[in-house]
Structures are given as C-alpha cells and as structure tokens.
Chain A
Amino acid sequence: MNDKILMKGNEAIGEAAILAGCRHYFAYPITPQNEIPAYMALRLPEVEGTFLQAESEVAAINMVFGASAAGARVMTSSSSPGIALKQEGFSYLAGAELPAVVVNMMRGGPGLGNISGSQGDYHQATRGGGNGDYKTIVLAPGTVQELADLTIKAFELADKYRMVAMILGDGYLGQMSEPLTLPKAVQNIPSKADWALTGPKGRAGRSIASLRLAPDDALYQHNMHLAEKYAQVEAAETMAESYLCDDADIVLCAYGTSARICRKAIKKLRSEGIKVGLFRPISLWPFPKKELAKVASGAKKLLTVEMSLGQMLDDIRLHSGKIPSEVDFYGTPGGALPKIETIIEKVRSYV
C-alpha cells in the first residue's frame, strides 16, 4: 500500500505538529512561511486547538511562553527577521526551562533582506542571539518528509529536556512540494504535572521564573545545572547522515537545501570516478562532532557548502580535525542557491 501524499513543506510542518499533540500555535505573518499559520488557522480548530495570530513576533513567543508554562505542547513559526525578534523569548524560555518548538524558514538577510531561501541564520540559531549562556536544539531537515519527522522529534526533545527545539529550514524547503508519509500520531505525551502551572489545587503555589537573586549563587548554580543538561543533550542527541563517505577522499559538508544540491554534484562526480561523499549534519546543535571527525579522518579534503558566507564552516573547522588548508568553502549569500557546476569544478580541482 502506498500511503504517500503530496504536501508543501510548510504544511507538512503544521500537520506534523498536530500529530505530535500540539494544540496551541501563536505566530505573526512573515514570508516565506505563511503557509504554516494559514494551515494552523484551518486545522487547529478542527482538533479543538487554539490558533492565534499575535500582534508581533515578540508577543507570539511570549504567548508560547505562557502556554508552555501551562503545560501545553506549543509551537510558533517565523522567518529570519521574525526569529531575531523572538530571541528575547528563547532566552527567557531557556532560563525558565520551558519546552517549545520554533520553526525558522530562513530567508535572505541581513535586515529585511529578501524572501528567498537562505542559510544565513546558522549562527543565530546555534549560538543564539538572546542574552546569557543558553542553548537551543536545532534540527535541519532536508526534505519534506524530514520536515514532518523532525517536527515530531522536536516536540519530543523539547519536552524531554525542557528547552526550545528549533526546526531550521529555509524558504525553498518550505515552499516545495514532495511526497511524504505522514508520521503516526504521538500517543504518549509526557506528563508535566510536576512542574506546570495548573492552579495550586491541593498544594502550595509554585512559580516559573528566570530571575534568580537569592541565595547569592542561585544564578551561578542554575547556569551550572543548565550546562549539565546541555552536556547530556550533546552526548545523546546528535544526528547526521553520511552519504558515500566510506571510501571518500573528498567530503562535502552541507545541511538542508545545500545538501540536496551537493547530492546532485556527487552523482556527477562519482560517474567520473571521483571518490566524493556528503556529510550532512541533521542536528546543528548539538553538532555531530564525533560523526564529523570520523568521516573527516579518512578524507583528504573537505568542502563546506552553505547558502551563507560561511557559518557552519566554523563548526566544520572546529570539529573535523583538519588543518585550515584542508577545509575549503563555497557559499552563496542573499538567498542565492549554490551552483552544481561550481561544486563540481571545485571538487575536480582537488583531484
């Protein structure tokens, strides 16, 4: 039986969120992710959920904050400039240890930029633009199927670690239609009764806050607790795909849409007898350091391909174990796609 259906990337995220048990969604319109709020506005009332168009991205992420504290599975989505605004909320969610799923369908920047797909927010997502020492789980899908599957995964991880999990896609991915098999509806959503705000029935009031003033080392200790949690995430939750890397002399390093383009180049290069593979991080934070080091150890040259001026490149340089001359870069900023021919020419030049 073929249970595949054709769906637009952005809509697949919406349906997957509902299958994950998300019944609350708050967002502000921005291109190129407007199909997500439109889908949620139609679908959520059908499952007795709440769709609310907020007055701003800042308001939306704070509605998420409230709904998350109340114990709900909750999501917001936006695109690059809107995500910049939401980062205040990410920091507060991290400080208060509240789970939430955020979707960023990246567009060209800086500033208003354009509405084309881009990968210019890797640093923003993995390093975080909010204040303080905090981390966000960042998952980078490469297909519409993965948009759906990783949305389910994002809810699971957000609840497991009580932190923000982000789906980092781009405008191209959100706008493209592909066949997918919808994930199964999540049945066992973990109970949040031991911390969520539900009204203090039969107990003293409890609070959720990020302000920690007393005792003097309260905030220090809280940061150490967060660091311990982040270390657990780094140890347990990395995801990456290695494609034709076993015998590869040259490894392309790319995620999301860039990785799709690299695959085309690899097909052509392999037909010429050039041993080239693809390393595709799926979790951008935690970054798959060990997986990269393993793949890189057998390769002579790495080529990082990004729709940016070189952001994941920092992690490739840091964790591949390669010296700078062994790590090349090809990037296209401002919403432009990498060219297959350019990748092919670069790889040929290494042989």
Chain B
Amino acid sequence: MSKLIYTKPEALRPVKTHYCPGCGHGIVHKLIAQIIDELGIREDTLLVAPVGCAVLAYNYIDVDGLESAHGRAPAISTGLKRVHKDKIVICYQGDGDLLAIGAAETIHAANRGEDITVIFINNAIYGMTGGQMAPTSLEGQVTKTTPKGRDASEVGYPIRACEMLNTLVAPVYIERCAVYDVPHINKTKAAIRKALRYQKEGKGYSFVEILSMCPTNWGVDPVKGAEWVKEAMESYYPLAVFRDIPAGKVPELAAPEGTSAYERREEAR
C-alpha cells in the first residue's frame, strides 16, 4: 500500500517562479504555503509583497495579495490589519526594503505592536536592481555600489534588525533563522509556524529574519551561495530566538516595571 508523504502545498500555485537557481525566496514561499495549509488559514490570509525580487509573491502564494511601494509594507500591513482584525497579515520584505528605505515603517509598526507577521529575507544585497549594497551587506562585501568592498568608515556597518527591534517593548516574538541547509530550513519552518500561530491567536507583532542566498548577485554558484550564508553571514548575524514572550523568553528591555507588553495585552483582554 502506498502512502502520500509529500505534495505541493495547496496554498502554493502550480506556476513557475521567476527566481534564480539557488535563491532562497522559493524555499521560504513554500514554507509559508505549507504552514498556511497546516494552520488552515488560507482563506483568511493577506500577503503584502515588497518592492524587490519578491514583488510577485502574490502570484505564487494563493492568498489575497497586496503590492507595496518600496519600504512601505509595514504601513500597508497596518492599514490592512486595522480593517481586518480577524485576518492573518503577512508582511514579506527584503533587506533594502525593510532596513533602508522602509526603516521608519519597520520600527514603528513593531513599536506599535501591530498584530502582523514580518518575514524578513536578509541576503545582504539588492537583488532586483542587480546587486547593489544593502544595509545588511557585510563589511568588505563587494557589490555594484561598493566595488572595493563595503567600507564601514564611509557607509556604516551592517545593521542587525533582530537586535535593533529587540530593544522595543511591544513585539512578542523575534527570531533569526537561515535556509542554507535542510536542518535550518526545518527550524525556519518552525519559526514561521510559531509566528503565524501567534498572530492567529492575536498575540501581537512577530518578526522572523531569514538569512538567505542570492548567488546570482553574489556571483557564485548555488552551492557556494549556501556556504557563504553559513560561513560569512551567520557569524555576524547569529541565529537565535531573541524573544518569545508567550513562551516566557522575555528580554529585560521588553519588561519595564516587570510587566511585558504581551502580559499587559493579555491582562487587557
């Protein structure tokens, strides 16, 4: 007797994507679709797609999709969620989008504790425009706009999004993952599942950063791309659960006067 153990998730459309070989977006799209299926939330999910390589994400994930101007996805997600309080809003963003042009929107949506899930793809480069420096490009990293390598004395240091957001009171869940090999893909899936489950339960703002590959713009093959995430990126961007307030992992900063934002939210219910 045969048993079906693997199939395409229902929430993933049966279409070809435009992503390059070795790119991490396809992996993360599939994880999101699988979790949407598992949580049974397809009919209640709204996806905000960013300017960047994932701008067409709504063509691949079969939910209601809204395209954002560059950097504005958290503000647009705020508008969506404030109207549809009972729906799931996924705010999908890249590094230039989330940390450069949209830094203000990122910080303030997190600070308000918008009940949304931000999925942050950090591949340390601008993909869509052909490989320019991102806020997360590593020191010394050669890009189209840092031909001699990123010089921190000129253009500043790579920004650590999770650590920065972890200084805020309101977010309930912040984790950094990676998708360079299967064990880490599985961990990423668990993180996305937790983030979306928290949103389904109305727990508040969650942020999942995913270290991902852009072999095309890094000028390497897909295997080398995965290795570079592990060897070069992970040491600067440590993989960790920065906070998980519903599970009791509460950073000091998030609990002024001994009460976390999450606890206050729970008390208010």
Do A and B assemble together?
yes
Q: Interface of A with B (CB < 8 Å)?
A: 24, 26, 50, 52, 54-56, 58-60, 62-72, 74, 88-89, 92, 96, 197-202, 204-211
Task: Give the distance in Å from the alpha carbon of A59 to the alpha carbon of B44 in the complex.
Answer: 25
Q: Chain B, 43-71, contact with A by CB distance < 8 Å: what is the 0/1 string?
A: 11110110000011011011111111100
Contacts of A55 in B (CB 8 A): 104-105, 107-108
Question: In the complex, which of the residues A59, A69, A197 contacts B75, with contact meaning CB atoms closer than 8 Å?
Answer: A59
**A197 near B72 (CB under 8 angstroms)?**
no
Nearest A residue to B18 via CB reads A213
Known: A72-B83, A207-B64. 9 other contacts (CB 8 A): A62-B75, A62-B105, A66-B80, A66-B82, A199-B44, A199-B64, A201-B43, A205-B61, A207-B67
Contacts of A62 in B (CB 8 A): 68-69, 72, 75-76, 79, 105
Nearest B residue to A204 via CB reads B62
In B70-95, which residues have CB < 8 Å from any A CB? 72, 75-84, 87-88
**B87 near A205 (CB under 8 angstroms)?**
no
**B67 near A208 (CB under 8 angstroms)?**
yes
Known interface pairs A59-B75, A62-B75, A205-B64. Does A197 touch B80 (Cβ–Cβ under 8 Å)? yes
* Cβ of A70 to closest chain B Cβ, rounded Å: 4
**B69 near A199 (CB under 8 angstroms)?**
no
Contacts of A92 in B (CB 8 A): 69
**B63 near A200 (CB under 8 angstroms)?**
yes
**B64 near A198 (CB under 8 angstroms)?**
yes
Task: Give the distance in Å from the alpha carbon of A210 to the alpha carbon of B61 in the complex.
Answer: 18
Task: With a 10 A CB-CB cut-off, give which of A66, A92, A208 has the most chain B CB atoms.
Answer: A66
**B67 near A211 (CB under 8 angstroms)?**
yes
Task: With a 10 A CB-CB cut-off, give which of B48, B76, B104 has the most chain A CB atoms.
Answer: B76
Known interface pairs A55-B105, A199-B45. Does A209 touch B79 (Cβ–Cβ under 8 Å)? no
Task: Give the distance in Å from the alpha carbon of A207 to the alpha carbon of B69 in the complex.
Answer: 14
Nearest A residue to B11 via CB reads A205
Task: Give the distance in Å from the alpha carbon of A96 to the alpha carbon of B72 in the complex.
Answer: 15
Nearest B residue to A54 via CB reads B75
Instruction: Name 19 interchain pairs, CB-CB below 8 A, sorted by A.
Output: A52-B82, A54-B75, A56-B104, A58-B75, A59-B104, A60-B75, A62-B79, A63-B82, A66-B80, A70-B80, A70-B83, A197-B46, A199-B46, A199-B63, A200-B64, A206-B64, A209-B58, A210-B67, A211-B55
Task: Give the distance in Å from the alpha carbon of A86 to the alpha carbon of B46 in the complex.
Answer: 24
**B72 near A58 (CB under 8 angstroms)?**
yes
* Cβ of B8 to closest chain A Cβ, rounded Å: 15
**B65 near A59 (CB under 8 angstroms)?**
no
Q: Give the number of residues in B that approach A within 8 Å (Cβ atoms).
A: 37
**B75 near A209 (CB under 8 angstroms)?**
no
**B65 near A26 (CB under 8 angstroms)?**
no
- Asked whether B42 is an interface residue with its Cβ less than 8 Å from the other chain, the reply is yes
Task: Give the distance in Å from the alpha carbon of A74 to the alpha carbon of B105 in the complex.
Answer: 19
Task: Give the distance in Å from the alpha carbon of A59 to the alpha carbon of B75 in the complex.
Answer: 5
| Interface of chain B: mostly helix, strand, loop or mixed | helix
* Cβ of B218 to closest chain A Cβ, rounded Å: 25
Task: Give the distance in Å from the alpha carbon of A210 to the alpha carbon of B55 in the complex.
Answer: 11
**A63 near B78 (CB under 8 angstroms)?**
yes
Task: Give the distance in Å from the alpha carbon of A65 to the alpha carbon of B107 in the complex.
Answer: 19
Task: Give the distance in Å from the alpha carbon of A67 to the alpha carbon of B66 in the complex.
Answer: 11
Known interface pairs A56-B104, A197-B46, A198-B84. Does A208 touch B78 (Cβ–Cβ under 8 Å)? no
Known interface pairs A62-B105, A65-B72, A199-B84. Does A207 touch B78 (Cβ–Cβ under 8 Å)? no
* Cβ of B126 to closest chain A Cβ, rounded Å: 17
Task: Give the distance in Å from the alpha carbon of A88 to the alpha carbon of B105 in the complex.
Answer: 15
**A68 near B79 (CB under 8 angstroms)?**
yes
**B64 near A64 (CB under 8 angstroms)?**
no
**B108 near A205 (CB under 8 angstroms)?**
no
Contacts of A58 in B (CB 8 A): 72, 75, 105
**B79 near A66 (CB under 8 angstroms)?**
yes
Question: In the complex, which of the residues B62, B69, B75 contacts A205, with contact meaning CB atoms closer than 8 Å?
Answer: B62
Task: Give the distance in Å from the alpha carbon of A199 to the alpha carbon of B75 in the complex.
Answer: 19
Question: In the complex, which of the residues A59, A63, A200 contacts B62, with contact meaning CB atoms closer than 8 Å?
Answer: A200
**B105 near A208 (CB under 8 angstroms)?**
no
Task: Give the distance in Å from the alpha carbon of A60 to the alpha carbon of B69 in the complex.
Answer: 13
* Cβ of B227 to closest chain A Cβ, rounded Å: 33
* Cβ of A214 to closest chain B Cβ, rounded Å: 10
Contacts of A66 in B (CB 8 A): 48, 66, 75-83
**A26 near B79 (CB under 8 angstroms)?**
yes
Nearest B residue to A51 via CB reads B82
Task: With a 10 A CB-CB cut-off, give which of B69, B75, B84 has the most chain A CB atoms.
Answer: B75
Known interface pairs A96-B67, A199-B87, A202-B43. Does A207 touch B59 (Cβ–Cβ under 8 Å)? yes
